[in-house]
Amino acid sequence: MGFASTVSALVAHLVAMPEFARVSALSPDDGFDEPFLREIIGAAGALAEGEIAPFGRRADGEGCALVDGRVRLAAGHHEAWAAFVAGGWTGTEGAIEFGGMGLPVAVHSACEELFNRASPGFGMAPTPMRCAARVIEKYGSAAMREEWLPRLIDGSWGATICISEADAGSDVPRLRTSAVPLDDGAWAVTGEKMWISFGDHDLAERIGHMVLARSTDPVTGAGRLSLFLVPSVIDGVRNAVVVRRIEEKLGLHCSPTCALGFEGARGWLVGVEGRGLPQLFAMIIGMRLSVGSQGAGIAGAAASLAWTYASERRQGGRPDGPPVPIDQHGDVRRMLLAAAARAEVTRGLVLTASAVSDLQTREPDAAAQAEAGHLLAWLLPITKNFCAEAAVTCANEAIQVLGGAGYTREWPAERYLRDARVLPIYEGTSGMQALDLVMRRVLGDEGRAMQAFLDRARADLNAASDHWAAGQFAALLALLEEARGQLAKDTAPIVAYPFLQLASLVTTGWIALRLSGQTGSPIADHLAGLGRHWLRLALPLARGECEQVAMGSDLIADFPSIAMAEFG
């Protein structure tokens, strides 16, 4: 098992997906059919397996370094990046008018899963580039679009996202970085930013830092959060952007995570002053879908490794006979099935959310766009968090299947776990995704996001061909509606995470229901079996999460009785 089988599974998901069928129908001349999908996703798989995966294995041990104020990347990064750029992979979903391919996000996400399967650290570089391009295309001035979009899309220039600061990571209102207008229309940006992926490198000749800062009125001193594009180089001279340090991290070693200082650096306002946060949301959609692709890539790689190892490792069996492959043992089969089913619904979740995001922008009818937008609002926090946690879970299970071998660097299972562990943290922690889902998507906006999901899920339930799977999913839906009735605004923050977990189990149960109906080929039967198994696992897990939601404030009732001093 490997990249070729992953390509087949990705194509099978897209071909069977109603949302992608609608995307294809809206662009009949673009030919997003099965042969096209096999060609482009297959090309991504070949590059991932042939170039990126070998680099990722080597670079994990070497990492990056700060030398004379500049980031030095791991050996081989430039060669792998050159192959990536030459294939046009920096512009898969970029606007055609600026040199991009204009492909659906769903096709991009399928390719992105393969690149992240090979090396999620490598995949950290192109993601902010395409997400910055989204924001510039939507909010940048004509001159900014003309200057930056062709170069971000062709990979000659890079980009970063600079939001977090010390003591103000997710607490955006406390950001202190400031921007003061200059006489020539530029702004002077001053402050300290941290957790900046690829904050400095020489893969691209110029980096555009997308900086969230307070645009300070020189008279009143009032500050509003605005978005600025701060180039690393202006007219061949380095801007006043300084790399303070590279973080020493658990994983993603070939991705330099930098702390940056902006010392009166020249930048340009993106869009409307004071609208930095809403404008960033266009970028955040892409970032969260990319975390989903990272999770799917790692989860799939870990599950595949576990199955391959278990089919070859021999131990146990009858004392009077030869040892048998460990995949013949019941407990190992339990772990293998759980990991494979989780990885498959993770893949389906990312692709579905990506196709829905395509419909939000491609549907010609305003009502259809709005419907897709509501469904995407439901799927985004679930996709980001479930896929992130699935990567951790599957990597952990792979280590367990491999036993002591999985704990050593001879096998990649421990690297998968190290790389995966940050996924539930960045781009909004699990708790933040839970609050977003519960407070905004369920209790807020008249619950339109949840209703959009329920409407789509019930339609699929009524059309399901597998009656057993339909029964399992109907029970999941009932639990979700029961839990919604138990939510109250005063206790919702306490139970938001178990509600997110429940919603994730139900939503991936929806993906599994769709998979269970596939038939007619070996890959279809494979996906159907994994879908049924996930429904078998999801229902008892969902019952437990529903019980926690019902606890309300009792879930933290004992907190005051716990004494910090007693921890020693």
The catalytic residues are 427
CA distance 535 to 332: 19
Written as six digits, the tokens of 530 are 């994994």
Q: Which residues pair with 67 in a beta bridge?
A: 70
The conformational region for residue 338 under phi > 0 = left, psi -120 to 50 = alpha, else beta, is alpha
Listed in sequence order, the residues at least 6 apart from 503 whose beta carbon sits closer than 8 Å to its beta carbon are 378, 382, 437, 480
CA distance 5 to 250: 30
Three-state secondary structure call for residue 215: strand
Written as six digits, the tokens of 471 are 């029964």
Which among 342, 450, 338 is positioned nearest to 388, based on CA atoms? 342
Q: Which residues of 512-522 are buried (b: 16+ CB within 10 A; e: fewer)?
A: bbbbbbbeeee
Tell me the pairing of strands 157-162 and 206-216. Answer: parallel
H or E segment at 162?
A: strand 157-162
Three-state secondary structure call for residue 454: helix
Q: Which residues of 301-314 are buried (b: 16+ CB within 10 A; e: fewer)?
A: bbbbbbbebbeebe
Residue with tokens 């890079």: 158
Which among 437, 448, 456 is positioned nearest to 545, based on CA atoms? 437
Listed in sequence order, the residues at least 6 apart from 434 whose beta carbon sits closer than 8 Å to its beta carbon are 381, 385, 496, 497, 499, 500
Listed in sequence order, the residues at least 6 apart from 10 whose beta carbon sits closer than 8 Å to its beta carbon are 37, 41, 110, 113, 114, 347, 351
Which among 310, 300, 309 is positioned nearest to 351, based on CA atoms? 300
Work out the burial of residue 485: count CB atoms within 10 Å of its CB; fewer than 13 is exposed, 13-18 middle, 19 or more buried. exposed
- How many other C-beta atoms are found inside a 10 Å radius of the C-beta of residue 237? 6
Residue 300 identity (one-letter amino acid): G
Runs of H (alpha helix) within 429-521: 430-435, 448-463, 467-486, 492-516
Tell me the pairing of strands 237-238 and 206-216. Answer: unpaired
Q: Is the dihedral of CA 106, 110, 115, 120 positive or negative?
A: positive
